[in-house]
Structure 1
């Protein structure tokens, strides 16, 4: 049987595909841009047309599939937008879905991930929720612009700490859960790095690896939101979600460190220093 990977072109999904192939699994990558997926993965995988908003694509995507990596696309803000596909997984007797959720979401009903988790559990699809901390790639991606252009980390996280994790490590966790589906059925895993850092410490690390002075500006929520919408031109809904997440971060929800990554993979998670050093070009 095969494993369906949604969001395969993204940071996490691409690593899920890589690690599943390393484990000898047959992989189906699903998305709306067939040409892009084909360029990324070539003949190593099966590529299918799939759209969460088009139920006519569900059956073909799930044909011959018994496990699924489920990732909510950013443009679907309401959890109900994912429910029809969850229903389709149940009708196809999927034996495990690994849903990419959020750290602390079991106690936080605001993000859509909370209701999606609950819906998967309610209708009886076997699950292995993955609840990661903040991605290291947030800094090398969306927040790298200010770091490169101004030498500033422009994030409204106050003095809070965050247990960052590399998306490559998340990909390995997800692949392991899907590969060992019977062992991990109906489980949930909070995955973090091995250390909790505030953004002043992140600035020190980035300064060290880049050789230039990088500071943490610690903007307020209003200033951050206005800048990312008006100056960066990002979608208001996306920015509002990040504001909510950083609000929760200030309350200490992102600082927890777990050993689940090591317990499941037998490896230590990548440190932020190693990540920054290996991706220094993203910050220069």
Structure 2
């Protein structure tokens, strides 16, 4: 059985849905199983799990031989490391960890440290390092795109590879379904093209048939603006951290690892935009944007 640690993340939800569709045995760790069942129905095996509460570990992991591990943005690094060390006491035979491409170039990031700790457990592992998610266009950037036709991200003029979370979930599933093939492997999944945000704005504009402006805000202005619009200091800093490697020119290296692993090409940015056009349409106006 496979244990999934973060159902709230895009990848966690995609992997859970695919496991359910494929009738794979799995369970999901959540802080409140009853509330999760009321929200998502009885189709999932929710177990009480809190990475900061060691008393939840035994029952949550009972009967599991693989774990899909993610580092929550609000987690304490030392507590998370304790949980990873605890896994040595279990019957787990495989850890699949969703890291970040930045772990390679920025060794001070939590992902780098977590990768080191995972390798110290002596449990067979697979580490997946995805690049910048296309889904960010639908998250903190969505409202500015939809309401003002502005692409708003502190990325400067740097380029970044972009990958669709659906493709990352496909890689995760492959590693969980054929574990021995992927033991002690690290896969960087970058995608086959890199873009600066002026180019992303142009692609968005072509598909939405309107002009999209990339505002290229400074980090200070971005932080101030996002906090004025309801994000906390911590949430805003997490977004800024995503873009530091792009600013530094460390995020533009492409690869064909997805093709090598899966046997097909990853979803392109243009296709992703086509698939999600409705997310950036102003419903009240019935058109892409409201300039008023």
Does TM-score exceed 0.5, indicating one fold?
A: yes
| 253, 268, 271: which one aligns with 1:271 | 268
1:75 corresponding residue in structure 2: 74
Preserved contact between residue 8 and residue 37 of structure 1 (Cα < 8 Å): no
Q: CA deviation at 1:24?
A: 4.2
State the distance in 1 between where 2:126 and 2:220 align: 36
Q: CA deviation at 1:138?
A: 0.6
Q: Which deviates more, 235-244 or 182-191?
A: 235-244
State the distance in 1 between where 2:41 and 2:155 align: 40
Preserved contact between residue 62 and residue 89 of structure 1 (Cα < 8 Å): no
Deviation digits for residues 34-64 of structure 1, max 9, x if unmatched?
2454356544432111111111111111100
Q: CA deviation at 1:23?
A: 4.6
Q: CA deviation at 1:237?
A: 2.0
Q: Which deviates more, 198-207 or 236-245?
A: 236-245
1:240 corresponding residue in structure 2: 237
* 2:58 is the counterpart of 1:53: no
Q: CA deviation at 1:85?
A: 1.7
Preserved contact between residue 161 and residue 252 of structure 2 (Cα < 8 Å): yes
1:153 corresponding residue in structure 2: 151
| 129, 135, 139: which one aligns with 1:141 | 139
Q: Which deviates more, 27-36 or 165-174?
A: 27-36
Deviation digits for residues 38-96 of structure 1, max 9, x if unmatched?
356544432111111111111111100000011111111x4212112212221113111
Q: CA deviation at 1:15?
A: 1.1
| 113, 118, 125: which one aligns with 1:120 | 118
Structure with bigger gyration radius = 2
1:96 corresponding residue in structure 2: 94
Secondary structure, aligned partner of 1:65: coil
TM-score with structure 1 setting the length: 0.93
Secondary structure, aligned partner of 1:189: strand
Preserved contact between residue 127 and residue 186 of structure 1 (Cα < 8 Å): yes
State the distance in 2 between where 1:41 and 1:182 align: 32
Preserved contact between residue 97 and residue 125 of structure 1 (Cα < 8 Å): yes
| Structure 1: runs of 5 or more not aligned | none
| 266, 272, 282: which one aligns with 2:279 | 282
